[in-house]
Structure 1
Amino acid sequence: MTSSQAQPAAHPYIPNTVPAVRQAMLDEIGAASVEEFYADIPDAIRLHRPLDLPAPLASEAELGRHMEQLLARNTSTRQALSFLGSGCYQHHVPAVVDEIVNRGEFLTAYAGEPYEDHGRFQALWEYQSMMAELLDVEVVNVPVYDGFQATGTALRMAGRITGRRGIVVATATDADKLSRIRDYVRPDHDVSVVPVDRESGRADLDAVREALAAGDVAAVYAESPSAAGIVDESLPELAELAHAAGALYVVGCNPLTLGALAPPSSYGADIACGDIQPLGIHQNFGGGNAGFIATRDEERLVAEFPSRLFGLVPTTVEGEYGFGDVAYERTSFARREEGKEWVGTAAALHGIGAGVYLALMGPQGMREIGETILALTAYARRRLAEVPCVEVPFGEALHFADFTVRYSGARTAAEIRARLKERGIFGGAVTGDREAVYCVTEVHTKADIDRLATTLEEIVK
């Protein structure tokens, strides 16, 4: 038997597969083999064979070339004319944002605890402060994984505060987000989705009132804009209904709207949540997300944040202050298995990027970009409504970025999307057999929208 047969081969770029290294690790923790770590997994669900994976490429050059070939199969929204939105948006990211987040003191593959580098803590405190100003609240968390998790966490917070079980979803909400919410809040909460008014796209207040009459509702959840892009005029009335029933009002919002539109706190929201991806974070093929949660500085609300909060804290030197965790004992990091809810690795780097973006934009810049997107959305809706066999519903409602399109021709929404793609255009996200949600942002021009309309005229019938 040769030495290569006698000894298991080490993976060329996974250092702890070196037999001597693996054995040293096992010896250190007192385990006879790796199999001991899997003892609690039932045998019936064990694979009992190696994974069906190709052999590792032996050199860094080969691996790099292979990855480049795989990545070349993607077509990004910068290569095509894209009208995709629905939670991950194409925005201009100023070059200085990338310059800052790629600095060595910030860039890391993990959240990190660089206690020798308090600049990161200050940067995140600055981000929280600007977000709080934008949202008109006092408390904003260090970002969690994404807006979906932030929503689930906000609803769980409402459940712990009220001691109730029910959650009523009052506005149009993305199907993927609803799935994530249901999964995240179970088994402690039941989610009831109230269908919106078919004609207006807005919340059905009578139906929400009926859902609340059943009692035991922890929270009414609404979005601004909704999944259909609608800024619902009934948002303040939903707050009144929720509070009259003893429930909290949780509002998911796109923070980029808040330079031009009122923040959730102004119309009664107890907890605001959402995704900061529109604030200077690249789409990253759908992965550039991070979630925020925001409340008033009220003990019953703040005590239920499971995620980290940074603030000004005293140091060992009298009269000096630094930046660090506030009320750390309430977090799952401190309480571990006794925590009210587990929150893992923070998307802290995205928080720093969003902070740089907000500092660059300032109040006037946020107002201008919000008004620009509102105007472009209105133009796109008017222009597409002129296309034969295309209907743009909810005509009277104010829309931001996203908007619904319905097709009345022979082709389905999926077929139309495929034909648009053949012409170098990413059409709207398909939401039904004859329905799609399109999106425009500040990166689109009038000519881009006109090109979309002209192309639809050619293929939609």
Structure 2
Amino acid sequence: MTEAFVHPYIPNTAPAVKQAMLDAVGAESVEDFYADVPEDLRLRRLLDVPAPLPAEQDLARHVKGILAANRSTEERLSFLGAGTYNHYVPAVVDEVIRRSEFLTAYAGEPYEDHGRFQALFEYQSLMAELLAMDVVNVPTYDGYQATATGLAMAGRMTGRRRVLALSDVLPEKLSKVVDYVRANLEVETVATAGGVADLDALAAALGDDVAAVWIETPSFTGAVETRLREISEAAHAAGAVVVVGTDPVGYGVLTPPAMHGADIVTGDIQSLGLHQWFGGAHAGFIAVHDDPRFVMEMPSRLFGLESTDVPGEYGFGDVAYDRTSFAHREDGKEWVGTAAALWGIAAGVYLSLMGPEGMREHGELLLARTRYAQQRLASIPGIRLGDDALHLREFTIHLDGIPARDAVAALRREGIEPGVVVDERTLLVCVTDVTSASDIDRLADALAAVVSPASDITKEQVA
């Protein structure tokens, strides 16, 4: 490829156009734009891509061939989780968000609202009820950003730099959060005990320089933190803010973190009526109490009821808009760009359809399915549970007789995705509401065959 090459799919690749753009911004070369990217992440070679296809039909055929290699969780029995979950999405959710007045609800202002602000206000209200919080934002880009923003809020409020991460955090999330806050905060991971927070380790790490105590519940391994109140009391005594990263799917049956002392609750709403879609429809939430100190640190939009000039009429619009980066631009406390308003509407439809009783039944089902899966797999010789904590939806198993990757390869040949490889001998297994007892039995039988071929353990022996 020469410098004079003009790519048919990528605009502005003509040399003269590229040079004009560089001159306009005062850059010497394109490399200047990547100065902050670490060298070990840089690709110092050309991409291995086919030659450009000039005809549209040829390009379409090529792309369809690539997509044909995909296998969705509707085609395979999947026990994959780790942040993106295969929950059932009621048909009405898709029907509502496909409406034209919602489908383009991204971040900008439409000429006519058609109820988008009210729909998002209803979503915020339903999330606030589920989380036992007062204020919930319009969705941010994803749950990673939401948790990072919660920690950044704590740093601004306390003027401190240290963050203590008490729980096992999804590695990808930890990496994103650390990168997001690294200019102002230092994240220190504290060792866990039995899958949950170690309070003795917390006490040793706390100090007057700690901005936030960060708890993930359920954690990366699905462990539910049962001593959150004690953690909150210790953190507050040290002047730190308690930030919880969570998945709201279980709070129809579990006690919300806010009722155990959490100051800021964050997470992702993918489990609430959003499809996996080969990577997930993700959107983040930030929830706080009705306290101006916290509300005014939230950088993202809030919608609320507003009165009009006509007595008795009201509408829906921004609350405290002047605190946002949309209002302050480069002078804002924190920049919030890409929003995910459409996914907020989807989650609002899902929550209104489920209702409190539906969410309670859903949470109970997840707890029961998780426990059944743990019992079935732990009954197999050569398989041990990773810990004894209470788990929701996910848990780890240790394979004594076979490397985890070999077990995955063997079960894939049978159309089963048994879980995510954590290390050489550990698998992270996930069950959801679409995972039946017979699905779990099939996984157990298949694992028994590769881990302990002589085993004749059956489900009747689990009880």
| 1:142 counterpart SS class | coil
Partner residue of 2:244 out of 251, 255, 260:
251
Q: CA deviation at 1:9?
A: 7.6
Deviations 1:170-202 (A, max 9, x none): 1111111111111111121111100101xx222
Q: What residue is the counterpart of 1:398 in the other structure?
A: 390
Amino acid at match of 1:415: D
Q: CA deviation at 1:339?
A: 0.6
Alpha-carbon spacing, 1:444–1:296, altered in 2? closer, same or farther (3 Å): same
Amino acid at match of 1:34: M
- Decide whether the 8 Å contact of 1:125 with 1:323 is kept in 2: yes
Residue 290 (1) aligns with residue 277 (2) = no
Partner residue of 1:457 out of 442, 448, 452:
448
Distance 2:304 2:430 in 1: 37
| 1:167 counterpart SS class | strand
| 1:324 counterpart SS class | strand
- Decide whether the 8 Å contact of 2:105 with 2:341 is kept in 1: no
| 1:84 counterpart SS class | coil
- Decide whether the 8 Å contact of 1:313 with 1:321 is kept in 2: yes
- Decide whether the 8 Å contact of 2:272 with 2:350 is kept in 1: yes
Distance 2:213 2:294 in 1: 16
* Greater Cα shift, 413-422 or 47-56: 47-56
Alpha-carbon spacing, 1:49–1:275, altered in 2? closer, same or farther (3 Å): closer
Distance 1:61 1:84 in 2: 35
Residue 350 (1) aligns with residue 343 (2) = yes
| 2:197 counterpart SS class | coil
Alpha-carbon spacing, 1:46–1:91, altered in 2? closer, same or farther (3 Å): closer
Partner residue of 2:217 out of 208, 224, 240:
224
Q: What residue is the counterpart of 1:237 in the other structure?
A: 230
Distance 2:424 2:173 in 1: 20
Distance 1:348 1:327 in 2: 18
- Decide whether the 8 Å contact of 2:270 with 2:280 is kept in 1: no
Deviations 1:338-365 (A, max 9, x none): 0111110201111111111001111111
- Decide whether the 8 Å contact of 1:290 with 1:350 is kept in 2: yes
Deviations 1:344-402 (A, max 9, x none): 0201111111111001111111111110010000000000001111001323x211000
Q: CA deviation at 1:45?
A: 5.6
Q: What residue is the counterpart of 2:140 in the other structure?
A: 144
- Decide whether the 8 Å contact of 1:332 with 1:342 is kept in 2: yes
Q: CA deviation at 1:49?
A: 11
Q: What residue is the counterpart of 2:457 in the other structure?
A: none
- Decide whether the 8 Å contact of 2:84 with 2:270 is kept in 1: yes
Q: CA deviation at 1:318?
A: 4.5
- Decide whether the 8 Å contact of 2:22 with 2:28 is kept in 1: no
Alignment of 1:40-51 (within 5 A): 40-42=27-29
Residue 303 (1) aligns with residue 296 (2) = yes
Alignment of 1:106-121 (within 5 A): 106-108=102-104, 110-121=106-117
- Decide whether the 8 Å contact of 2:244 with 2:266 is kept in 1: yes
Alpha-carbon spacing, 1:314–1:393, altered in 2? closer, same or farther (3 Å): same
Q: CA deviation at 1:82?
A: 0.4
Partner residue of 1:445 out of 433, 436, 444:
436
Gaps of 5+ in 2: 35-43, 453-463
Sequence identity percentage: 55
Q: What residue is the counterpart of 1:105 in the other structure?
A: 101
| 1:91 counterpart SS class | coil
Q: CA deviation at 1:115?
A: 3.8
Q: What residue is the counterpart of 1:125 in the other structure?
A: 121
- Decide whether the 8 Å contact of 1:250 with 1:271 is kept in 2: yes
Q: What residue is the counterpart of 1:420 in the other structure?
A: 411
Distance 2:51 2:293 in 1: 55
- Decide whether the 8 Å contact of 1:413 with 1:436 is kept in 2: yes
Q: CA deviation at 1:89?
A: 0.5
Partner residue of 2:320 out of 324, 327, 332:
327
Q: CA deviation at 1:60?
A: 4.1
Alpha-carbon spacing, 1:50–1:448, altered in 2? closer, same or farther (3 Å): closer
Deviations 1:401-453 (A, max 9, x none): 000101111x2111111111111111211111111110101101111000000
Alpha-carbon spacing, 1:8–1:291, altered in 2? closer, same or farther (3 Å): same
User: Under a length normalisation based on structure 1, what TM-score does the superposition of the two structures give?
Assistant: 0.90
Q: What residue is the counterpart of 2:21 in the other structure?
A: 34
Distance 2:45 2:253 in 1: 57
- Decide whether the 8 Å contact of 1:147 with 1:290 is kept in 2: yes
How many residue pairs match? The answer is: 440
User: Under a length normalisation based on structure 2, what TM-score does the superposition of the two structures give?
Assistant: 0.89
| 2:251 counterpart SS class | helix
Alpha-carbon spacing, 1:229–1:9, altered in 2? closer, same or farther (3 Å): closer
Q: What residue is the counterpart of 2:150 in the other structure?
A: 154
- Decide whether the 8 Å contact of 2:140 with 2:285 is kept in 1: yes
Q: CA deviation at 1:40?
A: 2.1
Superposition RMSD in Å: 2.6
Amino acid at match of 1:129: S
Alignment of 1:351-370 (within 5 A): 351-370=344-363
Gaps of 5+ in 1: 1-6
Amino acid at match of 1:77: T
Alpha-carbon spacing, 1:421–1:164, altered in 2? closer, same or farther (3 Å): same
Q: What residue is the counterpart of 1:205 in the other structure?
A: 199
Q: CA deviation at 1:37?
A: 4.1
- Decide whether the 8 Å contact of 1:118 with 1:323 is kept in 2: no
Q: What residue is the counterpart of 2:427 in the other structure?
A: 436
| 2:220 counterpart SS class | coil
